[in-house]
Structures are given as C-alpha cells and as structure tokens.
Amino acid sequence: MEKISRNLEKLGLAGKEIDAYLALLKLKSASVIQLAKATNLKRTTVYHCLEGLIDKNLVTTVFKNDKRFYVAEDPKEALGNLLKEKQETIHEVLPELKNIFGIGLSQPEIKIYRNVTGLRKLFEDLLKSQEKIDRYYLSGTLLENLLGAEFVENFVKKRIKLGITSLSLRAFEKYHPDWEQKETHSQQNRKVRFLPEKYFITPYLAIYDDKVVVISEEEKMGFIIQSQEFAQAQKTIFDILWETVAI
C-alpha cells in the first residue's frame, strides 16, 4: 500500500486525499459520513479531499434517495486521463522552460569526458547539430582507432540519415589527396580538403552550432566547449583555411 501511495503522490494526489481515494475504491460508493469512518478523518477533511478528487476526475457523485454519494471512477481510465493531462501540460509549458534554460546557457560551459564510453557520448553530440553542418580537423588519428570501427560506421550512417554535412580539413602528414576515395566521401555526405603539413593539428577538433569538441588520443580524453562567441571564432578560422589555404 505504501508503494501505491508513493505513486499516487507522483500523480499529484496529497496524503489524506490518497487515503480517501483508496478507501473509496474499496467501498465503491460511500457518503461523506461513511468515508469519514473508513478513513478516521474529519468530515470537513473528507469534503476537502473529495473536492480535489472530483477536480482530478477520479471521483464522481450520484444521488440515492436524495442523499449524495461519492463513487470512484474506473482507476485504469481515470488515472490514464490524469496522466494524459499532465503530459499535455508538460508539452505546453516545455517550450517556455527550454527558452529559460537556453538563456542560462548563454555563459560559456565546458564538459570533460574520459575513457572510450565518455568519448563516444561526446562524439555523438555532433548528431544534435541544428545547422546540419559540422567542420572538423583530422590530422594524426583515425577515429576508428580511438572509438572503434563499428561505432564510427554507425555514427556516419546516423549523420547521413539526419542530413548533416561534414567539412573535413586533413593534414598531409597523415593523409594525402591521392589516397582518398572521393566517391566514398560523396556517398557519406562529406567534403574533404587538405592542409599543408605546417598546419598539422594533433587532436581531433570539431565545430558545430555553438560548440567546439576536442578529442585527444594521447590523453584519452575530450571536452566540449559551449560558447557562441568561441564557436563562431573557430568557424571563421576554419572557413578561412578552407577557402584560402586548403586544396
């Protein structure tokens, strides 16, 4: 019974309201006096509880011989409707709450991730890109070596399905245009250009929306910086390299 009471509280019922409701479910139909005796509550308290239960559409009233009786509705339907109302309320208020939450994120934020599990979680954040485009530098490490070939393959499939285009700047030291399969890049919704060796960048670095992701194979860690100003600066640097230096 304690577990039932806790779950009913989660649905918005108060303590004494729960007592009255459970008693009425057993009695099926009862007057205020009968319900007061069954719950050991004062009649004024029972009245107050019943008003709340009626507002929640869990209880209704009937008249027998000019006397008012209270009847519990079928809990499956009544509680289902109550849950549906709460879900609709959440759906209605969620956009405003997200807007308030977004305002709070205007301050730069840094999150650090370690080990393969953490790095995979970090990497998958790229799939949330609202701009449908990500920019990244790839120089020293094949991501398959760090995150696993199967994970990277599934990630690419998800990215393609979401319509996210990748712009990849690669260093000559580890990659060369002659080695690349342009057909594969096209199929994977990816554009690739190459940087001279002097622009070699060791960690994997990706830029999207208002975020910058850095992953280090050597240190087995990564972090994400969420800052509109910083991300925009990184995008500008990337675009300059893409348009003027890369081939």
The winner for highest mean pLDDT among 16-30, 79-93, 195-209 is 16-30
The pLDDT of residue 176 is above 70: no
Tell the burial category of 48 from Cβ atoms under 10 Å away from its Cβ (0-12, 13-18, 19+): middle
**CATH number, domain at 24?**
1.10.10.10
Average per-residue pLDDT in the chain?
Answer: 83
The pLDDT of residue 224 is above 90: yes
In terms of domains, do 69 and 127 share one?
no
In terms of domains, do 115 and 235 share one?
yes
The whole model's pTM is what? 0.54
pLDDT band at residue 171 under the 50/70/90 scheme: confident
Q: Is residue 89 part of a domain?
A: no
Domain boundary among 54, 77, 100: 77
Q: Is residue 226 part of a domain?
A: yes
Q: Is residue 90 part of a domain?
A: no
The pLDDT of residue 182 is above 70: no
In terms of domains, do 64 and 113 share one?
no
Domain of residue 183: give its range. Answer: 109-245
The pLDDT of residue 15 is above 60: yes
Query: Could you report the per-residue pLDDT of 56-105, keeping only the tens digit for each?
Result: 888 888 888 888 898 888 888 888 888 888 888 888 888 887 776 665 55
**Ramachandran angles phi, psi of 75, nearest 5°:** -60, -30
In terms of domains, do 238 and 120 share one?
yes
Q: Is residue 83 part of a domain?
A: no
**CATH number, domain at 191?**
3.30.870.10
User: How many domains does one find in the chain?
Assistant: 2
**Ramachandran angles phi, psi of 87, nearest 5°:** -65, -40
Tell the burial category of 245 from Cβ atoms under 10 Å away from its Cβ (0-12, 13-18, 19+): middle
In terms of domains, do 58 and 126 share one?
no
Q: Residue 103's pLDDT is what? A: 56
Separation of alpha carbons 201 and 129, rounded Å: 23
In terms of domains, do 117 and 194 share one?
yes
User: DSSP H helical segments within the chain, as ranges?
Assistant: 2-10, 15-27, 32-39, 43-55, 75-104, 115-124, 143-147, 149-161, 182-187, 228-240
Q: Residue 136's pLDDT is what? A: 82
Angle at 62 between CA 61 and CA 66, to 5 degrees: 125
User: Is 101 within 8 Å of 88 (Cβ atoms)?
Assistant: no
Separation of alpha carbons 106 and 4, rounded Å: 42
In terms of domains, do 169 and 58 share one?
no
In terms of domains, do 49 and 170 share one?
no
Beta bridge partners of 208: 211
How many Cβ atoms are within 10 Å of 122's Cβ, its own excluded? 22
In terms of domains, do 35 and 145 share one?
no
Please state the rounded mean pLDDT for residues 121-147: 81
Q: Residue 162's pLDDT is what? A: 92
Output 190 or 209, whichever has higher pLDDT: 209
In terms of domains, do 175 and 58 share one?
no
